[in-house]
């Protein structure tokens, strides 16, 4: 599993002209599922994200997690994170999980955040063409992989 984590002051995702998810201060997660990912890896990733200290404390040090600051999380599926462009100019997505595996894992990740935190969890729409808008706070962007 690969997740691009962006600390944002706001973010939203639209499918067509409809907003499917929007947050204020928190984390935008772009989530790619690998064909070999397991539930244990997904749970590890969720716990890591909930505890990741990327928000500033009173001394302006990144010492607080999204849970500590009562932030929000916007989860967006993005299979292109597993695009391999080492050969040629057209990326190969062979390592990305097929939708029949990726969608249940994406849904389980959302459910994990909802049941293991009291944060506002918003989402994109799996498999849809989406417009994602964000104001990257910092900017702070990390790539997590398990």
- Mean pLDDT to the nearest integer, 28-53: 97
35 is catalytic: no
78 is catalytic: yes
CATH 3.50.80.10 for the 2-145 domain, yes or no: yes
**Residues 123-137: pLDDT tens digits?**
999 999 999 999 999
143, 93, 99, 98: which is closest to 125 by C-alpha? Answer: 99
Token pair of 134, please?
């964000």
Coil, strand or helix at 128: coil
- The average confidence (pLDDT) of the chain is 97
Residues constituting the chain: 146
123, 34, 143, 142: which is closest to 83 by C-alpha? Answer: 34
Give the number of C-alpha atoms closer than 13 A to the C-alpha of residue 64, restricted to the C-beta side: 17
**Residues 98-132: pLDDT tens digits?**
999 999 999 999 999 999 999 999 999 999 999 99
89 vs 107: CA distance, rounded Å: 32
- Mean pLDDT to the nearest integer, 12-21: 96
Instruction: Determine which one of 6, 55, 79, 122 is catalytic.
Output: 79
58, 76, 57: which is closest to 6 by C-alpha? Answer: 76
- Mean pLDDT to the nearest integer, 73-95: 95
Tokens 């929007």, residue located: 22
Instruction: Determine which one of 6, 55, 78, 113 is catalytic.
Output: 78
Domain boundaries, the chain: 2-145
Band of pLDDT at residue 146, cut at 50, 70 and 90: confident
Report the predicted TM-score, pTM, of the whole model to 2 decimal places.
Answer: 0.95
80 is catalytic: yes
CA distance readout (Å), 88 to 7, 84, 92, 101: 33, 10, 9, 28
| % residues pLDDT > 70 (the chain) | 100
DSSP state of 11: E
């Amino acid at each position: 599993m690969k997740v691009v984590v962006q600390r944002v002051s706001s973010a939203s995702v639209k499918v067509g002209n409809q907003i499917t998810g929007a947050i204020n201060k928190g984390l935008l997660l772009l989530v790619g599922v690998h064909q070999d990912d397991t539930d244990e890896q997904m749970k590890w990733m969720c716990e890591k994200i909930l505890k990741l200290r990327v928000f500033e404390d009173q001394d302006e040090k990144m010492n607080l997690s999204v849970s500590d600051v009562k932030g929000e999380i916007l989860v967006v599926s993005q299979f292109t994170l597993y695009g391999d462009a080492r050969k040629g100019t057209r990326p190969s997505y062979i390592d990305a999980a097929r939708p029949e595996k990726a969608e249940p894992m994406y849904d389980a990740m959302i459910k994990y955040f909802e049941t293991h935190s009291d944060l506002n969890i918003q989402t994109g729409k799996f498999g849809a063409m989406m417009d994602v808008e964000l104001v990257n706070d910092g900017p702070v962007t990390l790539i997590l992989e398990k």
